[in-house]
Structure 1
Amino acid sequence: MYQATTRQIIVTVKPAYLEEQSDPEAGRWVFAYQVEIENAGEEAVQLQSRFWQITDAAGHVEEVTGPGVVGEQPVILPGDSFSYTSGCPLPTPSGIMRGRYFMRSAAGETFAVEIPAFSLDLPCGARTLN
Structure 2
Amino acid sequence: MVQQVTNGIKISVASKFEGTSYRDEQLNFVFSYQVTIENQSNNTVQLLERRWNIFDSLNQTEIVEGPGVIGKKPILKSGETHTYKSHCLLTSPIGAMSGYYRMVNFSSSNMFKVYIPTFQLMVPCIFN
TM-score, length-scaled by structure 2 = 0.93
Residue 114 (structure 1) aligned with residue 112 (structure 2): no
Other structure's SS at 1:96 match: strand
Cα deviation, residue 126, structure 1: 2.3
Corresponding residue number in structure 2 for 1:14: 14
Runs of 4+ in structure 1 over 3 Å off: 23-26
CA deviations over 1:66-93 (Å, ceiling 9, x no partner): 0000000000110010000000000111
Alignment of 1:71-110 (within 5 A): 71-106=71-106, 107-110=108-111
| 1:123 Cα offset (Å) | 1.7
Query: What RMSD in Å do the two structures reach over aligned CA positions?
Result: 1.6
Q: Scaled by the length of structure 1, what TM-score is found? A: 0.91
Task: Supply the distance in 2 between the matched residues of 1:23 and 1:68 (Cα, whole angstroms).
Answer: 27
Tell me which amino acid in the other structure corresponds to 2:76: I
Aligned to 2:70: 70
Structure 2: give runs of 5+ residues left out of the alignment.
none
Question: How far apart, CA to CA, are the structure 1 residues paired with 2:64 and 2:3?
Answer: 20
- Counterpart secondary structure, 1:18: strand
Q: Which has the higher strand share?
A: 2
Report the CA distance between 1:59 and its aligned residue: 4.6
Partner secondary structure for residue 43 of structure 1: coil
Which ranges of structure 1 fall in alignment gaps of 5 or more residues? Answer: none
How far residue 57 of structure 1 moved from its aligned partner, in angstroms, is 1.1
Q: Which amino acid in 2 is paired with 1:116?
A: P
